[in-house]
A and B are shown apart, each in its own frame.
Chain A
C-alpha cells in the first residue's frame, strides 16, 4: 500500500494564459490544509506552453508544482484532462485533492473520482482537517443552502471541489522557494473522444454578474420589464450587475442569464440588494454568500428579511427613486 500524503490542488489557466482567480483560493485553502497535516502542498498546472506561469504557483504557496504541458491540453477537454490528472495522481499519491467548482472542475472532478475509485464532495464552502482523525471534513450547502452538510470520506485520495469566493486567496510572496517538476502524462490523440468545433464568446453588457462587487436583483414584485429599468439604473450607478430571481426570468422581463439561484448563477458580492424578492430557498442558494444583504420588500414577513442585514419595508416604487437620488448626491459630494 502506497502511503498517501500531501495536498494536491489543481490550478486553472485563463484564456489569456494567466493563473485564474480561483487558483489562488485553492492555494490558500490547500496551504492551510497542508500545514495542518504537516505535509507538502503540491499544485498541478495543465495546458499547452504554460511553463512561464508555473513558478508563480510557488510564490502563491505551493511547495511543488507539477507542470503537465502538452499541445493536447491547450483547451479543456474531458478525456485528456481526466487521464493526465489520473496519471499524475497515481504518481504523486496525494492524501487530498482540491479542485475548483468551475466549468472545468465540475466536469473533471467527478470523472476523476470515479476513475480513482474514491469519493468526491462537490461545491464545498469549507474544508478542515479534523485534529483527531486527520480526516478532511468537507462542508457543503444542500437543499439550496438551507442546510449545511459535513462529510468525510473513507477512501483516498479524499477529493473536494470548492465554490468560487468561498476560500481566502493566498497572497504572493516572491521569496518563496519550491520546485517546478515537469510531468509527462503520456497522453496521445487517441484519447480524444470529443471534438470542439468552436467556442463562442458572449460579451456581457456591463459588469459580469459572477464577478460583480455589487449585485442589484429584482423579483416577481417588480411587476414587469419597466421596473427593471430602475434596477438597471441603480446597478449602473453603483458599478454593479443586474440580477433577478426566477420569476422575472421565466416571464421574460429580463434575460435568463441574470438569474441568481440554484438554477442560475451563484454570486457572492460585497453588496447584494434584493428588491421585491420574497426569498425562496432556490434563490437563497445563489446569494447567501454575499457579504452585505439589503432587502426592500413591502411584505414584512418576507423570508428575505431573515437573511438581510439591512431592510426597508415598503413599495420599491416609492423607495428606489429617493435612494438613487441620494446615492447620486453622496457620490457627487464624495468627489468634491
Chain B
C-alpha cells in the first residue's frame, strides 16, 4: 500500500517585505516598483506553505515535495533554500515572457497549472495565502478552478488522516476543521509557523537535488493576454507632519501627551 503522496508547493520570490518603506520606490515611467537595496526572499506566506509541506513529510511516509517557482529571472540563493529545508526537487519556470508587468493572476494560475500538469502527479497543492508584494491572493483559487478540484484557503494547520486531508482554516474568532479528499489545493496562513532553518548537513545534501528549468516553450503554451490594466502606481502622500510633544523631561512629555490627546478630542 503506502502510495506516494505528491505535494506541490508554489513559491514566489519577492523583495524582502521587512525592508524599510524607502526601499520601495516607484518608477512612474515604467509603472513599476523598483526595490532599492533589499534582497529577494521567498514570500513569507509561501515559506509557511513550504513549512506545512515539510511537516506533512515529517509525519508521514512516502511524501515527495516538489517546489515550483516562476519568474523572469530567479535568484538561485533563494531557490536553494527551498531544497535545503527539505523539498525533494524544484522546478523553475523561467522565461523572459514571465515579466510580472505582463502577467495577471489568471495568466500566473494558468502557467502554474500547466507546469503542475506537466509534472503529472499532484495530491496536495500548497501556496501562501497571498504574495507579500502585490497581495492579490487569488492564484491558488485560480489553479483549483482550472483543475476543478476543491480549495481551502487560510489554513493554519494541514495534516493527513486516514487518506484524507484535515485542514484547520482561520476564522475571525477561531478556526474551523475541514475534511477533504485529495487532490486538493490549500492556501496557507502565517499561523502555521515559520519555515525551519536548514542545517549545514541539509545544505550540503541539497546540492545533489534536481533543479529543472522550463521555459514557456517547454510548457507548450502561449501566455494569455492580461485583462486587468494597471492605470496608476504611486507612493501615497503619507508623510504627515508629526507634531512632537515635548517637556522638560521625558516624564513631562508623557504627561503632556495625555493632555494633547484630550485636547484634540482623540480620547
Contact = CB atoms under 8 A, between A and B. Distances in A.
Partners in one complex: yes
Quick one: which of A119, A143, A155, A288 has the most chain B CB within 10 A? Answer: A143
B1 interface: no
Contacts of B22: 303
B190 interface: yes
A148 B251 contact: no
Nearest to A123: B135
A293 to B, nearest CB: 8
A200 B141 contact: no
A contact patch SS: mixed
Interface in A263-300: 263-264, 270-271, 279-282, 284-285, 288, 292-296
Contact of B33 (A140, A143, A310, A329): A143
Contacts, number: 273
B137 interface: yes
Interface stretch (A89-97, A174-182, A189-197): A189-197
Contact of A198 (B15, B133, B177, B255): B177
Nearest to A307: B238
Contacts of A107: 141, 151, 153-154
Interface residues of A, number: 96
A147 B180 contact: no
Contacts of B158: none
B contact patch SS: mixed
Quick one: which of B45, B141, B240 has the most chain A CB within 10 A? Answer: B141
Contacts of B240: 293, 306-309
Given A194-B150, A281-B21, A306-B238, A200 B175 contact: yes
Interface stretch (B55-63, B67-75, B165-173, B213-221): B165-173
B176 A198 contact: yes
Contacts of A196: 176-178
Interface in A91-125: 102-103, 106-107, 109-111, 113-115, 118-123
Given A150-B230, A155-B227, A281-B24, A122 B180 contact: no
Classify chain B: how many residues form its interface, as a range.
Answer: 35 or more
Given A103-B171, A152-B231, A309-B243, A195 B257 contact: no
Contact of A148 (B21, B129, B236, B253): B236
Contacts of B266: 270-271, 292
A263 B191 CA distance: 9
Given A148-B236, A280-B18, A199 B176 contact: yes
A326 interface: yes
Given A194-B180, A282-B17, A307-B238, A114 B257 contact: no
Contact of A201 (B173, B246, B264): B173
B23 A199 contact: no
A153 interface: yes
A153 B227 contact: yes
Given A149-B232, A310-B243, A119 B152 contact: no
Interface stretch (A27-35, A49-57, A64-72, A314-322): A314-322
A154 B227 contact: yes
A110 B23 CA distance: 30
Contact of B142 (A114, A144, A292, A329): A114
A143 B133 contact: yes
A114 B178 contact: no
B77 interface: no
B244 interface: yes
Nearest to A281: B21
B231 A288 contact: no
A294 B45 CA distance: 29
Interface string A31-66: 000000000000000000000000000000000000
A262 B137 contact: no
A146 interface: yes
Contacts of B232: 148-150
A148 B232 CA distance: 8
Nearest to B240: A309
Interface string B3-41: 000000000000101111111101000000100000000
A149 B235 contact: no
22 contacts: A110-B105, A111-B145, A114-B146, A119-B227, A122-B135, A147-B24, A148-B235, A152-B229, A153-B228, A198-B176, A208-B173, A281-B19, A281-B24, A292-B264, A293-B240, A307-B240, A309-B243, A311-B244, A311-B245, A318-B254, A319-B257, A330-B262
Given A107-B151, A194-B152, A194-B180, 12 more contacts: A114-B138, A114-B145, A147-B233, A151-B230, A195-B180, A199-B176, A263-B44, A263-B190, A279-B20, A281-B20, A307-B238, A318-B250
Interface of A: 78-79, 102-103, 106-107, 109-111, 113-115, 118-123, 137, 140-155, 193-204, 208, 210, 214, 238, 246, 250, 256, 259, 262-264, 270-271, 279-282, 284-285, 288, 292-296, 303, 305-315, 318-327, 329-330
Interface of B: 15, 17-24, 26, 33, 44-45, 104-106, 109, 129-130, 132-138, 140-142, 144-146, 150-154, 166, 170-181, 190-191, 194, 227-236, 238-240, 242-246, 249-255, 257-262, 264, 266-267
**Interface pairs A-B: 8 shortest CB-CB:** A110-B138, A322-B254, A110-B141, A326-B258, A323-B254, A318-B250, A114-B145, A319-B254
